[in-house]
Structure 1
Amino acid sequence: MTEARRGAVEFRNVRKEFGAFTAIPSLDLSIAPGELVTLLGPSGCGKTTTLRMLAGLESPTSGRIEIGGQDVTRLPANRRDVSMVFQSYALFPHMSVAGNVAYGLEAGGLKGPEARAAAEKGLDLVGLGGLGDRLPAELSGGQQQRVAVARALVLEPQVLLLDEPLSNLDARLRRRVRTEIRDLQQRLGFTAVYVTHDQEEALAVSDRIVVMRDGEIAQIGTPRELYDAPASEFIADFIGEANVVDAEIVATSGGQAQVRLGGLLADMPARGLLAGPARVALRSNALRVGAMTGGGLDGAVATSAFLGDHVEYEIDSALGRIFVIDDESDQPLAPGTPVTLTLKPRGAALIP
């Protein structure tokens, strides 16, 4: 796939209505050539509608969509120069693996031997070389998903669209296949738009994440930006399941704030806030659980659960019930045990 096939994507003031219901009020979004951008959010947030409008499966009520600098707003799906990978794989069960991969090429007029050679090259790209003669049912779920990716890639689209591509796989396979998709995207450099409701999946594969809520962009940024500097309580809770607690900014200086959380004092970026009441997002792995000594946030264990490589706690404190993941101990503390929570160097952020 050459540089010329890496298409930029533009949504300009795009609105989508379904009768009296407005799914997308007004969407402006730019995706650079060669970038993998994930649309993330809860069910009904508008991410799938956005992807379907880009694919040509839905028409916007108003606004403009561009791919590679071309206005495609009213073009049918087969003239958009995009390929889509569906969560259901959508493989033909009676066709061989190579036949499935070659299908789109043959439908576009490429002759049999040439289409077969291109299909074998596509299978090599996704690590399935030599399996072209098998039927889809003879492959694992992860292998079938890679066949679906190969079928999309051999068409050399300007943009690859992935709609919940891992939702039918078990947890271990999802981790492996998401790594393979990301490695492939980085190696070939194609533009990709990826839809998921799984925040861990989004963090793992994306150059940037677009978090959507009620049809609008709640925040857009790199995985690190969204995790370390959530723009709202919704983002803090949705990306990483943070504890959002009341705090007090004692003082600010040079863009930094001294923040009091119960008995804890911590320094963190002020994010434009001034001294006074504030809200802080505390990541579940940003706190240490220790014997009650004072000098921190005192509380008591409400629940504990041993999960192999870490212990999960709910701690009752002056800030309310705090969820903590402790990966430094393999011996859970019993409910009722008095404890003191202290902060690790990162994992707490003021919410502007």
Structure 2
Amino acid sequence: MNHAPGSVVLQNIRKQFGAFTAIHDLSLTIEPGTLVTLLGPSGCGKTTTLRMLAGLEHPTSGRILIGGKDVTMLPANERDVSMVFQSYALFPHMSSLDNVAYGLESSGLNRKEARQKAENGLELVGLAGMGQRLPAELSGGQQQRVAVARALVLEPQVLLLDEPLSNLDTRLRRRVRTEIRELQQRLQFTAVYVTHDQDEALAVSDRIIVMKDGHVAQEGSPRDLYESPASAFIADFMGEANVVPCTVIGIEGDQAVIQVQDLVHRVPSRGVKVGPGQLAVRPNSVTLSPSTKADFCGRISSAAYLGDHIEYEVETDGGPLFVVDPSVERPIAPSTNVAIGFKERGIAIISL
């Protein structure tokens, strides 16, 4: 890619379909050369946002700037963006090379140059020498890479990816998401990536924007969102979390001193005040040990052995806890009373 990557700015974007508001006053800035993921459940507005960036939908109000240029009302073919669709949208009767060259030829490039660029594009995504194969002769992962090559050879300022791995099986999805991330970092293009898969978002993103009901629920680095969720929704959506009632009994610098039953623990304060609160606790951040007396106690209601870990359901006065314990050599039987502790990481105080 020879063109410089572009920034993406959305200013107070609103999108209505009749009386239904799909996007509410959305403002975002995506820095050039970064991969930013729009993540959220079905119906949260992430695909509508991507379609507005692509020019396939227009906002009801607000502005969209790509590379500093106002493209709000421009049609799709006048924006310097390329899109990789969920279905890949490859022409089944065309070879891989012809699929990749198609957009170049349509934009007026002569056939010889277009095919040379297409060859380079296929090489870029690891498919050198496979240009004569039809899409049906390629695996799902290879088809996906042809679709990425077709988008990249147009040298867009911004690459848009709409659930690009949803048609792949789990193992292939893991490999191809790594390839996409490595390609993006090597070529330094700006990418906006839509998915509902939390693992995918954590694996590929510089920044994640979690959407809910047409709003931004929280944005930040993968680590920020996983380790410091701002709400119970984010905590649960970014991987399983227990929400445990607690009391903030003091603030010491940037640490909040919290109490659960008689267990006292410290977590980053994040602006909370003394009083009742909630903890988001990752299942693998809980420790269990058989005990009849403890500062925070519970009782094992079920245990399931899953090879490299045991999953426990634990009854406590504050509600059930789901615990993932790697200590498979020391299983704890159901109906056992246990002492519950917290590890340093994976515990965050969240807003009520």
TM class, shorter-chain normalised?
Answer: over 0.9
Question: Is the 8 Å Cα contact of residues 35 and 207 (structure 1) preserved in structure 2?
Answer: yes
The 1:283–1:101 alpha-carbon spacing in structure 2 relative to 1, beyond 3 Å, is: same
**1:114-158 CA deviation, whole Å, 9 max, x = no partner?**
111111111111111111111111111111111111111111100
Gaps of 5+ in 2: none
| Equivalent-residue separation in structure 1 for 2:291 and 2:342 (angstroms) | 14
Shift of the alpha carbon at 1:278? 0.8
| Equivalent-residue separation in structure 2 for 1:165 and 1:152 (angstroms) | 12
Matched, 1:264 2:263: yes
Q: Which amino acid aligns with 1:23?
A: A
| Equivalent-residue separation in structure 1 for 2:227 and 2:144 (angstroms) | 32
Q: Which amino acid aligns with 1:159?
A: V
Aligned pair count? 351
1:197 corresponding residue in structure 2: 196
Shift of the alpha carbon at 1:329? 2.0
| Equivalent-residue separation in structure 2 for 1:143 and 1:110 (angstroms) | 25
Question: Is the 8 Å Cα contact of residues 306 and 330 (structure 1) preserved in structure 2?
Answer: no
2:328 corresponding residue in structure 1: 329
2:217 corresponding residue in structure 1: 218
2:159 corresponding residue in structure 1: 160
Question: Is the 8 Å Cα contact of residues 290 and 332 (structure 2) preserved in structure 1?
Answer: no
Identify the range of structure 1 (20-29 vs 284-293) with the bigger mean alpha-carbon deviation: 284-293
| Equivalent-residue separation in structure 2 for 1:258 and 1:25 (angstroms) | 37
Question: Is the 8 Å Cα contact of residues 291 and 338 (structure 2) preserved in structure 1?
Answer: yes
Q: Which amino acid aligns with 2:274?
A: A
TM, length-normalised to structure 1: 0.96
**1:189-217 CA deviation, whole Å, 9 max, x = no partner?**
00000000111111111111111111011
User: Residues 260-339 of structure 1 correspond to what in structure 2 (within 5 A)?
Assistant: 260-292=259-291, 294-329=293-328, 332-339=331-338
Identify the range of structure 1 (52-61 vs 261-270) with the bigger mean alpha-carbon deviation: 261-270
1:247 corresponding residue in structure 2: 246
| Equivalent-residue separation in structure 1 for 2:304 and 2:10 (angstroms) | 45
Question: Is the 8 Å Cα contact of residues 298 and 317 (structure 2) preserved in structure 1?
Answer: yes
Runs of 4+ residues deviating >6 angstroms: none
Question: Is the 8 Å Cα contact of residues 16 and 22 (structure 2) preserved in structure 1?
Answer: yes
Shift of the alpha carbon at 1:160? 0.2
Gaps of 5+ in 1: none
| Equivalent-residue separation in structure 2 for 1:225 and 1:108 (angstroms) | 42
2:71 corresponding residue in structure 1: 72
SS of 2:82 mapped into structure 1: strand
1:52 corresponding residue in structure 2: 51
Q: How many percent of aligned residue pairs carry the same amino acid? A: 65
**1:204-246 CA deviation, whole Å, 9 max, x = no partner?**
1111111111101111111111111111111111112211110
Question: Is the 8 Å Cα contact of residues 39 and 194 (structure 1) preserved in structure 2?
Answer: yes
Identify the range of structure 1 (318-327 vs 78-87) with the bigger mean alpha-carbon deviation: 318-327
| Equivalent-residue separation in structure 2 for 1:263 and 1:293 (angstroms) | 14
**1:65-123 CA deviation, whole Å, 9 max, x = no partner?**
01001110110001101000111111111111111111111111112221111111111
Shift of the alpha carbon at 1:348? 0.4
The 1:154–1:251 alpha-carbon spacing in structure 2 relative to 1, beyond 3 Å, is: same
RMSD across aligned positions (CA): 1.3
TM, length-normalised to structure 2: 0.96
Q: Which amino acid aligns with 2:315?
A: D
1:350 corresponding residue in structure 2: 349
1:35 corresponding residue in structure 2: 34
Shift of the alpha carbon at 1:332? 4.5
